[in-house]
Amino acid sequence: MNLEQLLDEWRRDPQFRNQVSAWRVVPARIGRYEDFPAELHPELRASLAARGIERLYAHQREAWDLIQAGRDAVIATPTASGKTLCYNLPVLQAILRDPSVRALYVFPTKALAQDQVAELHDLVRNLKTSVHTFTYDGDTPVHARQKIREAGHIVVTNPDMLHAAILPHHTKWLRLFKNLRYVVIDEAHIYRGVFGSHVANVIRRLLRIASFYGARPQFIFCSATIANPGELTSRLLGRETAVVSESGAPEGEKHVILYNPPVVDPSLGLRQSALRAARRLGARLLQHEIPTILFTRTRNQVELLASYLRRDARDRVRSRIVSYRGGYLPNERRAVERGLREGQILGVVSTNALELGVDIGSLQAAITVGYPGSVASTRQQMGRAGRRKGTSAAIFVATSSALDQWMVRHPEALLDASPEAARIYPDNLLILMDHLKCAAYELPFSADERFGVETTEELLGYLVDTRVLHRAADGRYFYMADDMPAHAVSLRSAAQENVVIVDQSAHPPVVIGEMDRFSALTMLHEEAIYLHQSQMYQVEKLDLENGKAFVRPVDCDYYTDAELAVHLQVLEENQHTDEGPLRHYAGDLAVHATPTLFKKIKLETHENVGWGKIYLPEAELHTSGYWVTFDRSGWSASDDEWEAALKGLGHVLKQAVALHAMCAASDVHVAVEVRDPQYARPSVYVYDAYPGGVGIAERVYRDRDQIFATAFDMLQGCPCECGCPSCVGPPTSGEPLRQWVEALLGSVAGAGTPRGA
Amino acid sequence: MARSLLDKLKDLERTAGVRRSSGEAAPADEARDAAPAAQLCNVENHREGELAEAGFQKLSTPHGPVWVRETGFDLCTSYGDRPFADFLSCDFARLSRLAKADVAPERMMFYDVEATGLGHGGGTVPFLHAVGYFADDEFRVAQYFVPDYAAEAAVVRLLADRFGRDGSVMVTYNGKSYDWPLFVNRCVLYGLIPPEPAHLDLLHPARRLWKRVVGRMKLADVEALLGVKRAGDLPGSEAPLRYFAYVQGAPVASMEDVFAHNLRDVCTLARLALEIAEALEERRSWPHAAPHVGLATWFDAWREWESADAQFRRAVEQEDADWRARWLFSLFLKRRGQWDEACEIWLELARDFPNRPEPLVEAAKYFEHHRRDLAKALEAAQAAQARVAEESREHGEIARRLERIRRKLKRGAALPG
C-alpha cells in the first residue's frame, strides 16, 4: 500500500475521520523556471549542468537579479526549495571573476555549517578554477587557522566564533575583511529574542570592521517561513533588505491533517495520549514502508516513541527506524542524516534538532506530536514531508494541553494565519553595552561615531566614567582594560549571570541546564523540585554567589510551588490608554522579589502535602513591563476572590503571550496586585524576564486585544470544570476560579467576542 | 518621572550584577567635571614637561611626535655575570645557522614590548617598545613610549621603518607569539605593510637547553642561569594597570618601574643571546645532562658529528644523566656505526631500567645481525619479551624476532662446524 492508498483508507474510515479537526489538501504545483542569467560565468554554467541543472527556479533567478543589483536580500521560501543556490551562485560568480573576493558564511550551528560546506563542495568540484572553502570553528586545528585566514575564499563559521575569535582578531583576517564582498547568514529565523539581539550587535561590529578596511559587504539571508523575514533581517542588519518569498520549485500534492486523539474518559474529558496516537499512526506508515519522520517535544519522548515503533515493526523494517536528538555525538548524527538522504533509514524520531536546515532529503510523511511552541516551528516540521513529485502528508497530533486543544479548534491559526513574527531588540541596554565594549576593543570609536543608537556618545561617556574606555587626546575612545571583553559575553545565555544547574549524582557532575537568577529564586531554592526532561531533581544547594544550583535526581510524587513576595515599582510610564474601567500601560518597572515559602503539591491530585521556608535574599530586576488596571466596582468580589482571579488571569495570559510574541512562557513573568499602591486598583503586570527588557512587554501592550481574545478562547476550550494547570491553574478549594477569570476577561476590551467561536 | 539614560543604565548594571574587569570602576554618582579646552592644553604641556624630565626626548616625525628615551651602556658594563664587550669576541656562526640569518652584533635588534593586556587582538595596545642595539661602542636601548593612545601611529611608523632595514635580525623572547604579532597588528591598523625582518625567538633554543633544568621558562626563570639578579622588579601583570592610571592623569613617575622593567628585559635578552651563541660554540658547560643533549641534537641534525659526539659524552658524564640522555646517545652511536659502544650502553640501560624493553631489543638486533652471536641475541630478546605486556604490539614483534633467531639457531646446529 502506498501513501495515497493509505490516506484514502483513512479518509473513508469514520473512526479516523472523527478525530480529524482539519484535512487540507494542498494541490500539486508545477515549477516556475527561468533561464540562467546571461552573465552567469561559463564555469558555473558547466558545473550546474554537470549536476543536471539547466535552468533556475523563478525565486532563484529573482534572488540573483536583486543581488546583482546590489541589494541586500532575504530568501524566505519553504524548506527544500533550493535556497542555498540563491547565495552560492552570486558568491561563486564574484570569486570566479575576481579571485581576491572573499565571502563569509554564518550558520547558527556547527552541524549546519558542515552540511552546507558539503553541498558547496559539490558545486565547486566541477569548477576549473579552484575555490577554497574552509570551516572556522572551535574544532578547527590551530595549525590550519593561518591558512584559512590567508587562503579561504569562503570562510564558514558561526556567530559565536565570529564574536569571540574573528572580530577581536580582525587584523589577522586582513585579507578577508579587505575583500569581503558577501556575508551569508543562513537560518536567520533562529536569530530572534536575546540571541538575535546579540547577533544584530555582532553584525554591527562586523560592518564597522569591514568599513575600516574599506569593504561594504552585501548581505544575503536565508530564513524559514516566518511572518516578517524582511523586518527581522532589516533589524539584524540595520539596512533595508529585499524579500524573496515566492517559491518557484514544483511541489507534489500535500495532505495536512490535524488529529485530536480520541476521548477515552468522557466524564473527565480525558484524551488518549498524543504519544500513543502518534505511535499508532506512525506504525501504519512504517508498516507500508513510507519514509516518515516523527517530531516529539522532549528527548525522553524521542527514545520512548522510537522504541515503541521498533517494537511494532516487522523485522525487516525494525533496523531502519532510528532516533535523533541533541546529545548524540556528531558522527552518530551524520550517519543518521546520510541514512535518511540515501534511503537506508525509513523512520526517524527526532526533537526539533532536525527542524533546522540539516539536509536529510525529503520524506513522505511527517508527524508532529504536540505543539512545538510556535507556528513557524510547526510549519518547519511539517515541511520535512514534501516532495517535488508525488504525494506527501503532514500530521499534527494534539496533546491535551490548553494550547494544543486551542490549535485543533483553530486550524486556521496553524495552517492559514501567517506564522509568528520573529522579534529582536538589539538596543537592549545591557546587550548593547556588552557589544559596545567589544567594538571599542576591536577599533577605537571616533568622537562622532554611531553604533546602532543615537545615544552612542552618551553611552561611550558612561564607559569612560567607569574606566572601561579612555578618551584619547584626539577625541577617540580606546578600550582600557587588560582583558578581552568578548570572552565575558556569551551570545546564547539568556542573562548575564545565569545560575547553572549541576547534577551531583553524575561522575563527574554535569551541567544539565541554566536559569536566570530571578527565576532561580522560585525554581531552584533548596528543596525545590526541578523538572528536566521528565526527570525530577531535588535542589540540594543554591549558591547564588557563584551562580550554581546543585541537584540530585529523585523519585517523588509532588512538585514544589514557591511563593514570591513581589513588590513592583513603576519607574516610568512610556505609554498608556485613556481613562476608563480598564487602563493599559507600558513602561519600565523595578521588581523587588523575595521568596518566602514553598508548598509541596501532590502530582495527580494537586493537594497540598507540606511546605517549607525559603531563605534567600531579595532580588531586583529592572525591565520593561505591560500592565492593566481594573475598576474595582466592575466585579463585586472579596479581596481574596480578586487575588485568585487576577492570578488565574496571569496564568492563562502568560500562555497567550508566548503564542503571540513567539517566545517561551518563561521569557515573561506575571505579578498581580489587588490594591496597587500606585493606582489603588486591582492590576496585572506582565514583564520581560530579561534585565532591560527585550521588547515582549511593548508587544503585549500593542497587541493586547488579540492576546486577551486568545486567552479567553483558550479558557473556553479547556475541558476542565473550574480551572486546571493548563488554563488558569488549579483552584485551591473548589472555588469557580475559571468562571471568575472568564468574568474578568470578558470585561477586557475586545475579548467579549472571541474569534472563531 | 523620566529617567535619564545613564540612571537607567546604572540601575540595570547594578541589578543584573554586571561583572567588572580589573581596572573598571563603579560609576561615579556625580557628573564628571568637563575640563575646559584651555585647561586641557595646559595639562598637555605639563605632561610634556614631565616626560622630558623623565629623560624622554621628543622626535618630530611627519606623523606626529615620538617620545623616546635612549639608555647607553659602555661595553665594559657588566650585565649579569658578563660585560657587553663579550659580544665582540663571540662567534655567531652557529647562532646564524639557528636563526637562518646572518647574525652579527651590529645587525641585532633586541625587541620587547609592554602592552595593555596579554591578548593579541586588535584592542591590545603596546604602549612601550624597547629596541636594544649595538652602536658606537655602546649597547644602547631605545624605549619608545606612547603617552596617549592617539600618539601611537607615529611610533608604529617609525619602528616599521627601523625594523625594515636590510639585514636586520629581530631578537625576542617569546616574540613569535606575542611581541611581533602585536606589532604586526598595529601596522595593519595603521594601514602599513608590516616589515619582515629575520626573527630569532630565543624562547625556543632556551627551552631546548634549559627547560629540564629550570622548569618554567619565563624570562625571569632563565635569568638565574645568567647571573642576573633583579630586586624590586615590577610584576609584569602590573604594567597595564600603571599605564591605565597614567593615561588618566597619574604622574609619569608612576611609570618609572615599568620603564625599568622593560629596560632590564631587553638587557637580559642580549645577555641570553650571548649565552646561547657561546653554548652553540661549545664554550659553555653545565653540571646537567639536558643542555648538552640539547646541543648534541642540534649538531647531530647539522651533521656536525664530532661536536655532537663530544656533547653527548659530556651529557652522559653528568650525575643527572637520565634515560633520555643515554638512550639518545646510544642511538646516535648506532647511526654512526659505533656498535660496540652503543651495545655497552644498551646493556647498562637494561640493567639500570629493569622495566624498559627497548635497550634489550636493540641489543638483540646487534647480536643477531652484527656480532652474529645467536645465543646472546636469543638471551637478549627473551629478556626483552619478559618486559612487555602479552597483548601489546611490541610483544608480537619480539615474538617474531625470537622465532627467527630460533630458526637460525636450528639451521646453524644442523650445519657442520
The answer to which of A221-230, B186-195, B273-282, B332-341 has the lowest mean pLDDT is A221-230
Alpha carbon distance A61, A75 (integer Å): 11
Residues B6, B44: Cα–Cα separation, whole Å = 29
CA torsion angle A115 A119 A125 A126 (round to 10): 180
Confidence band for B35, pLDDT divided at 50, 70 and 90: very low
Provide the shortest C-alpha distance from residue A175 to chain B (in Å). Answer: 11
Confidence class of residue A416 from pLDDT cuts 50, 70 and 90?
Answer: confident
Evaluate if residue B177 carries a pLDDT over 80.
yes
Closest to B11 (Cβ–Cβ): which among A441, A442, A622?
A622
Residue B376's pLDDT band (boundaries 50, 70, 90)? very high
pLDDT tens per residue, range A690-731 = 888 888 898 899 989 888 888 888 888 776 777 776 678 767
Q: Are residues B359 and B256 part of one domain? A: no
Residues B115, B242 within the same domain? yes
The pLDDT-based confidence of A661 (bands split at 50, 70, 90) is: confident
Helix (H) or strand (E) holding A469: strand A469-471
Q: Give the range among A561-565, B82-86, B406-410 with minimum mean pLDDT.
A: A561-565
User: How far from the centroid of its chain's Cα atoms is residue A574's Cα?
Assistant: 28
Confidence grade of residue B34 (pLDDT, cut at 50, 70, 90): very low
Residue A103: per-residue pLDDT: 97
Say yes or no for a CB contact (<8 Å) between B23 and A481.
yes
Nearest Cβ partner for A467 among B2, B5, B23: B23
Contacts of A458 in chain B (CB under 8 A): 5-6
d(CA A277, CA A289): 19
Is A429 in contact with B116 (Cβ distance < 8 A)?
A: no
Whether B26 is in a domain gets the answer: no
Q: What is the 3-state secondary structure (H, E, C) of B217-278?
A: CCHHHHHHHHCCCCCCCCCCCHHHHHHHHHHCCCCHHHHHHHHHHHHHHHHHHHHHHHHHHH
Q: What is the DSSP letter of A728?
A: T
Residues B221 and B329 in one domain: no
Say whether both B100 and B244 belong to one domain. Answer: yes
- Do the chains contact at B148 and A472, CB–CB below 8 Å? yes
Q: What is the mean pLDDT of residues A9-13?
A: 94
Chain B residue numbers with beta carbons less than 8 Å from the beta carbon of A170 are: 121-122
The fold for domain A33-244 equals Rossmann fold (3.40.50)
> Which residues from B are below 8 Å from A433, CB to CB?
9, 13, 18
- What is the DSSP secondary structure assignment for residue A401, as one 8-state letter? S
Full domain range(s) for residue B223: 48-280
Distance (Å) from the alpha carbon of A473 to chain B's nearest alpha carbon: 6
Distance from CA of B297 to the nearest CA of A (A): 25
Q: What is the pLDDT of residue A394?
A: 94
Across the interface, which of B23, B151, B189 has its CB nearest the CB of A480?
Answer: B23
Cis peptide, bond prior to residue A508, ω within 30 of zero: yes
Is residue A212 pLDDT above 50, yes or no? yes
Residue A562 has what pLDDT?
A: 84
Mean pLDDT computed over A150-174: 93
Closest partner residue to A472 (CB to CB) among B8, B17, B149 is B149
Asked if the model's pLDDT at residue B28 lies above 90, the reply is no
Q: Name the pTM for this structure.
A: 0.82
Band of pLDDT at residue A754, cut at 50, 70 and 90: very low
State residue A494's pLDDT score.
Answer: 47
Stretch among A464-468, B258-262, B333-337 having the lowest mean pLDDT: A464-468
Q: Three-state secondary structure along chain B? A: CCCCHHHHHHHHHHHCCCCCCCCCCCCCCCCCCCCCHHHHHHHHHHHHHHHHHCCCEEEEECCEEEEEEEEEEECCCEECCEEHHHHCCCCCHHHHHHHCCCCCHHHEEEEEEEECCCCCCCCCCEEEEEEEEEECCEEEEEEEECCCHHHHHHHHHHHHHHHCCCCCEEEECCCCCCHHHHHHHHHHHCCCCCCCCEEEECHHHHHHHHHHHHCCCCHHHHHHHHCCCCCCCCCCCHHHHHHHHHHCCCCHHHHHHHHHHHHHHHHHHHHHHHHHHHHHCCCCCCCCHHHHHHHHHHHHHCCCHHHHHHHHHHHHHCCCCCHHHHHHHHHHHHHCCCHHHHHHHHHHHHHHCCCCCHHHHHHHHHHHHHCCCHHHHHHHHHHHHCCCCCCCHHHHHHHHHHHHHHHHHHHHHHCCC
Looking at the domain assignment, is residue B43 inside a domain?
no
What is the pLDDT averaged over residues B96-111?
A: 94
CB contact under 8 A, A482 and B117: yes
- Counting one residue from chain A and one from chain B, the pairs whose CB atoms sit within 8 A come to 149
Domain closes at, from B246, B280, B314? B280
Q: Which residue from B12, B32, B149 is facing A691, i.e. has the nearest CB?
A: B12
Partners of residue B237 in chain A, C-beta under 8 Å = 482
pLDDT at A505: 87
What is chain A's mean pLDDT, rounded? 86
Sign of CA dihedral A622, A624, A626, A627: positive
Q: Which of A689, A670, A659 is nearest to A627 (CA)?
A: A670
Cβ-defined contact of B244 to A480 (cutoff 8 Å): yes
Check A465 against B188: CB less than 8 A apart.
no
Q: Please check whether residues B308 and B253 belong to one and the same domain.
A: no
Would the CB atoms of A488 and B28 count as touching at under 8 Å?
no
Neighboring chain A residues of B123 at a CB cutoff of 8 Å: 168, 440-442, 478-479, 484-485
Can you give the pLDDT at residue A734?
Answer: 73
User: Which cell is A340 given?
Assistant: 535518511
The alpha carbon of residue B414 is apart from the nearest alpha carbon of chain A, in Å, by 59
Are residues B68 and B211 both part of a single domain?
yes
**Predicted pLDDT at B339:** 94
What was the pLDDT predicted at B27? 54
**pLDDT tens by residue, B113-169:** 999 988 888 899 999 999 999 998 899 999 999 999 999 999 999 999 999 988 899
Residues on chain A touching B28 (C-beta within 8 angstroms): 465
Residue B71 shares a structural domain with residue B183: yes
pLDDT at B311 over 50: yes
Per-residue pLDDT, A757:
31
Selected residue of A167, A482, A622 to mutate for chain B interface (largest B Cβ count, 10 A): A482
Q: Search chain A and give the residue with CA nearest B117.
A: A482
Q: What percent of chain B has pLDDT over 70?
A: 92
CA atoms within 13 A on the CB side of A243: 17
Substitution target in A467, A521, A545 with the highest count of B β-carbons within 10 Å is A467
Categorize the per-residue pLDDT at B30 as very low, low, confident or very high, splitting at 50, 70 and 90: very low
Q: pLDDT band for position A689 (50/70/90)?
A: confident
Q: Do A433 and B189 touch (CB under 8 A)?
A: no
Tens digits of residue pLDDT in B361-374 = 999 999 999 999 99
Look at residue A392 in the predicted model and tell me its pLDDT.
Answer: 92
pLDDT band, very low/low/confident/very high, at A181 (cuts 50, 70, 90): very high
Q: What residues of chain A lie within 8 A of the CB of B121, using their CB?
A: 168-171, 441-442, 484
Minimum CA–CA partner of A468 in chain B: B24
Q: What number is the average pLDDT over the span A460-471?
A: 92
Query: Which chain A residue shows the shortest CA-CA distance from B122?
Result: A442
Residue of B nearest to A479 (CA): B123
Nearest CA in chain B to A458: B6
CA distance B18 to chain A (A): 7
**Do B95 and B175 have their domain in common?**
yes
Provide the 8-state DSSP code for A473: T
Asked if the model's pLDDT at residue B207 lies above 80, the reply is yes
* Residue of B122, B237, B244 lying closest to A171 (CB–CB): B122
Are B86 and B174 part of one and the same domain?
yes
Domain assignment present for residue B354? The answer is: yes
Sort out which chain B residues have CB atoms less than 8 A from A498's CB and list them. none
- Domains identified in chain B, total number: 2
B269 and B315 together in one domain: no
Asked whether this chain's domains A3-26+251-415 and A33-244 adopt the same fold, the reply is yes
Least confident of A32-46, A170-184, A728-742, B337-351: A728-742
ipTM of the complex: 0.85
User: Is A620 in a helix, a strand, or coil?
Assistant: strand
Q: Using one digit for the tens of pLDDT, what is the confidence trace for A256-297?
A: 999 999 987 765 566 888 999 999 999 999 999 999 999 998
pLDDT at A328: 64
Q: Is the residue at B4 inside a domain?
A: no
B18 within a domain of the structure (yes/no):
no
| Rounded average pLDDT over A249-262 | 92
**What is the biggest distance separating any 2 CA atoms in chain A, rounded to whole angstroms?**
83
Is 70 exceeded by the pLDDT of residue A41?
yes
Confidence of residue A356 (pLDDT cuts 50, 70, 90): low
Summarize chain A as % helix, strand, coil (round to 5).
40, 25, 35
- Averaged confidence pLDDT in chain B: 89
Do B122 and A443 count as a contact with CB atoms less than 8 A apart? yes
Residues in B touching A497 (Cβ below 8 Å): 16-17, 19
Please say if the pLDDT value at position B31 is more than 70. Answer: no
Task: Specify the pLDDT at position B29.
Answer: 46
Least confident of A415-424, B135-144, B342-351: A415-424
Cross-chain CB nearest to B6 (options A442, A458, A468): A458
Beta carbons of B150 and A621 less than 8 Å apart:
no
Is there a contact between B1 and A572 if contact means CB atoms under 8 Å apart? Answer: yes
Contacts of B352 (CB under 8 A, 6+ apart): none
Per-residue model confidence as pLDDT tens digits over A378-389: 888 888 887 777
| Domain final residue, candidates B261, B280, B299 | B280
- List the single residue in A472, A481, A622 with the smallest CB-CB distance to B15: A622
* pLDDT at residue A142, rounded to an integer: 81
Chain centre distance of CA A15: 36
pLDDT at A675 over 60: yes
Q: Which of B11, B187, B190, B238 to mutate to test the interface with A (most CBs of A within 10 A)?
A: B11
Q: How far is A660 from chain B (nearest CA, A)?
A: 27
- Measured CA to CA in angstroms, residue B48 lies from A474, B66, B229, B239, B242 at distances of 16, 11, 33, 21, 18
Query: Predicted confidence band at B415 (pLDDT cuts at 50, 70, 90)?
Result: low
Distance in Å, alpha carbon of A521 to nearest chain B alpha carbon? 14
Q: What is the reported pLDDT for A755? A: 35
Based on the domain organization, do B246 and B305 belong to the same domain? no
Cβ pair B8:A622 closer than 8 A: yes
Examine the domain organization and report whether B175 and B138 are in the same domain.
yes
How far, rounded to the nearest angstrom, does the alpha carbon of residue A571 sit from its chain's CA centroid? Answer: 30
Closest CA–CA distance from residue B109 to any residue of chain A (Å): 24
Q: Among B246, B263, B280, which residue terminates a domain?
A: B280
Contacts of A588 in chain B (CB under 8 A): 3, 8
Among A174, A465, A495, beta carbon nearest to B28: A465
CATH top class, domain A3-26+251-415: alpha beta
Judged against a pLDDT cut of 60, whether residue B381 lies above it is answered with: yes
For chain A, domain boundaries: 3-26+251-415, 33-244, 429-488, 493-556, 563-746
Give residue-wise pLDDT tens across range A564-591. 888 888 888 889 988 778 899 999 898 8
Residue B25 lies in a domain: no
CATH of the domain at B142: 3.30.420.10
| pLDDT (average), residues B55-71 | 94
- Nearest CB among A168, A481, A590 relative to B24 is that of A481
CA dihedral A561, A563, A564, A567 (to 10 degrees): 140
Q: How far apart are CA A160 and CA A168, in angstroms?
A: 12
Contact A171 B185 (CB under 8 A): yes
